[in-house]
Amino acid sequence: MNDPRSLQIDLLPSLDGDVCEELAVLAQRCISGYSDDRPVSTSLVRSRLTNALTGTPPVLAVARDGRQVAGWCAVRRPEPGEVRARLWGPIVEPSARRAGLGRRLLQTVVEAAEWPLVTTDVPVDRDGATDFFTRSGWEVLDTITVLHGTPSTGGPSAVTAADITGLEAYVAAAARRFAGLESSFATSTLPRWRDDARFSAKTLLLDPPTGSLLLALVQRNATGSELLLAEVWAADAEIRGRLIAQAHTLAAERQVATVRAVTRQDPADFVASGMRVTGRCRTFILPGKR
């Protein structure tokens, strides 16, 4: 590889399929073996970087060594009603690290972004990752627990979003009641979820008597598969536990390899359902861009 310090960084105006595939391949290689290891696909990259409601592409900085992507960093612009834009990366080819490329990629997108920024989840166990943001002047916003579980057969069945009408109103009501989202942003929750390449109505579990829900997302690629428990909005611990158990049954039905959960709250309900804590992540904000 050429000297990473000499690689040119370009801001790309769009996000085409070939670029998404290159970003996904590098991302998968860089997270392998860490607590945030999960299947990364081209469709996942596209859906997570592109705005769900407007279709607007991200602020995307890419460094190439010849034709190969050596690193990238992106900012998904805030959706209407969101306060902060979401930073993804920087993600740098292992052989190009420790030469300032990650810092240059980060600086490029920060200078191009017009909004307050928050990072995606940064694993504590990834060597130097949290220190990188601290040294770059970012501050810890939140700590996230990562848990893993095993799909189970013979458990309780669930009501899913495919079984009911009026789903958008159901989700909006849950978003207001359990997540405390402002009314207009709560109304856009389901459209935002539907834009995620992993979303399916058959993996959105509901408890109609209480208005509770569990958002589960199936992801597969050539290296693995998982059911991610992305949100659990429930009226009480008993219902949370039942929804989590139902998700493990769903994982077996979907024939995925593992169940993964990420939570900013006390993980006790997940642990009580047989899941184990496998790591911690932090999110960071940039002071002065709040």
pLDDT digits (tens, 9 = 90+) for 238-271: 999 999 999 999 999 999 999 999 999 899 999 9
Cα-to-chain-centroid distance, residue 163: 26
pLDDT over 90 at 86, yes or no: yes
Distance CA 145, CA 149 (A): 13
Q: What sign has the CA pseudo-torsion 122, 193, 241, 252? A: negative
* CB neighbours of residue 266 within 10 Å: 10
Closest CA to 142 of 267, 263, 261, 289: 263
pLDDT for 2 equals 74
Q: Is 290 a residue whose pLDDT tops 70?
A: no
pLDDT tier, 274 (very low <50, low <70, confident <90, very high otherwise): very high
The single-letter code of the amino acid at 278 is T
Tokens representing residue 126 in the block: 């990834």
CA distance 178 to 193: 16
| Window from 3-7, 23-27, 141-145 with minimum mean pLDDT | 3-7
Give the pLDDT confidence score for residue 100 in this predicted structure.
92
Tell me the torsion sign for CA atoms 150, 29, 47, 146: positive
pLDDT tens, position by position, 101-127: 999 999 999 999 989 999 999 999 887
Cβ-in-10-Å burial (0-12, 13-18, 19+) of 74 comes to buried
pLDDT higher at 30 or 171: 171
Cα–Cα distances (Å) from 135 to 100, 103, 131, 289, in that order, read: 12, 10, 6, 17
What confidence category does residue 289 fall into, taking pLDDT thresholds of 50, 70 and 90? low
